[in-house]
Amino acid sequence: MKTKGARNSQQALKLLLPCFCASVFLWMFFTAEPLARQGTYYPPPGAWAKKAPAELGLDPVLLQQAIDYAKSRESNRAMDFSDQERIFGTLLGSVPNIRAKTNGLVIYKGYVVAEFGDTTWADPTYSVAKSMLATVAGIAVRKGLIKDLDATIGSTVKDGGYDSPRNAQVTWKHHLQQTSEWEGNMWGKQDNFIGKEAFGDGEMKPREQKKPGTYYEYNDVRINRFALSLLRTFDKSVPDVFREEVMDPIGASNTWRWIPYHNSWVELPGRCEPGAACAPRRLMSVSGGTRWGGGMWINSYDMARFGYLWLRGGKWGDKQIVPAAFVKEALASGGAPNSPGNGYGYLWWLNTSGKALAGLPTNAFSANGAGSNTITVSPDHDLVVVWRWHQGSAGEFARRVVAAIKPGTM
């Protein structure tokens, strides 16, 4: 027989139970909901969270074997850049007097799971800068400064560079796909790449130029024309745009530099009140590589942030930095009939044939610079791999990293 006290206790529990359940529900909502809202991890400025490989479902032994492979493929480029002019021709800008040894980072599911070498060294990254120029073009699209990538550049850029009948046909997309066939001289280098002194081992043989948009050629003179056109379009230096619109929002360091040639400076009208006298502005125009010196000098962590931005479809946190539609177009193969068979997007190397990055999915892509300096991205594996100063296969390194992913842990 229940006592009066026992009955009262049961009644009290019945009254308290709904309150308790509601409290638990509210606790779960207010603690779990922000996590769901946050979703993907984005590293804050000055830090990047690290996780043990096993914590994310990676086999530590296989991952270490991949790292050992990368560490054993040191670049054959001279440590003091004394081979620069032999390979590329007469310098127009600075090069360092020493570089880092091979180094890199593996970013998996947003976290640093492996790091080797000196990843803080800000070195030239050569043609990885081309993918950065493509990103600046994406910013111009976002801001409405470029309304149509198929529009001729000469319709808005009026500096004489697109006045000839040939150059008047060149569109933004042509430059982005390296099919422009733009003809002219940029900062003392002619578009035809003829001459051992000017172009080193990279000199080309004379050929008949084709109609813009119908022929692919990897050509830094034309890329440098593209960079100048972006400066004209923004009415601001490309490094300033890149810093304000891309690198600062993604939390990059302040150690990277986009260095011009000694002679790649242009004057624009000064900004002042109507009727007031003002001096012209002198702005630097930058290159899409370090073939003739200068270019993007950057450390591996900042390269990883840039690659991670593209892995996330141009988005960082809740901000769409590069338009999603532009990213999709940039990573779709196109161009001319002779464009790289493995796929070439908007100054990004693709893997549409599955051969450029063998063993990785066909939607993997990369930014590649001499040295070699590479960023490899595999969206299907939530993976970014930065590898500096190597003479190995970036695809093989990434494939070995992927092999360390335990089945069922993606």
Amino acid letter for position 132: M
Q: What does the pLDDT read at residue 279? A: 86
pLDDT of residue 250: 98
Is 44 part of a structural domain of the chain? no
CB atoms within 10 A of CB 264: 23
* pLDDT score of 315 more than 60: yes
- Give a yes or no: residue 37 inside a domain: no
| Residue 30 scores a pLDDT above 80 | no
**Which residues, other chains included, contact 85 with Cβ-Cβ below 8 Å and sequence gap of 6+?**
91, 200
Give per-residue pLDDT as tens, 154-205. Answer: 999 999 999 999 999 999 999 999 999 999 999 999 999 999 999 999 999 9
Q: Which residues contact 76 (CB under 8 A, 6 or more apart)?
A: 391
Q: What CA–CA distance (Å, rounded) separates 54 from 43?
A: 20
**In a domain? residue 86:** yes
Instruction: Answer whether the bond into residue 229 is a cis peptide, omega within 30°.
Output: no
Dist. CA 135–CA 133, nearest whole Å = 5
Would you say residue 43 lies in a domain? no
Distance CA 122, CA 127 (A): 15
> Could you give the CA distance from residue 177 to residue 336 in angstroms, rounded to a whole number?
8
Mean pLDDT, all residues of the chain: 92
Residue 20, pLDDT above cutoff 70: no
Percent of the chain with pLDDT over 70: 91
Q: Give CA torsion, residues 316, 300, 325, 110, to 10 deg.
A: -50
- Report, as an integer, the average pLDDT of 387-404: 97
CA distances 68 to 48, 97, 107, 112, 272, Å, are 23, 27, 17, 17, 58
Measured between alpha carbons, how far is 114 from 325 in angstroms, rounded to an integer?
32
Over residues 300-304, the mean pLDDT reads: 98
The total number of structural domains that make up the chain:
1
Is residue 124 one of the residues assigned to a domain? yes
Residue-range definition of the domain harbouring residue 174:
62-403
Residue 366 C-beta-side C-alpha neighbours within 13 Å: 27
Burial tier of 152 (Cβ tally within 10 Å: 0-12, 13-18, 19+): middle
Question: Does some domain include residue 156?
Answer: yes
- The CATH number that applies at residue 93 is 3.40.710.10
More confident residue, 107 or 279: 107
* Each residue's pLDDT tens digit, 337-362: 999 999 999 999 999 999 999 999 99
DSSP lists the bridge partners of residue 58 as: 405
Q: Is 178 inside any structural domain?
A: yes
Query: Which pLDDT tens digit goes with each residue over 91-107?
Result: 999 999 999 999 999 99
Residue 59 sits at φ, ψ, to 5 deg, of -80, 110
**Predicted pLDDT of residue 13:** 42
The mean pLDDT of 9-37, rounded to a whole number, is 42
Res. 16: pLDDT tops 50: no
With respect to residue 46, please indicate whether it lies within any of the assigned structural domains.
no
pLDDT of 38 reads 47
Q: How confident is the model at residue 275 (pLDDT cuts 50, 70, 90)?
A: confident
Which of 389, 310, 386, 382 is closest to 350 using CA atoms? 310
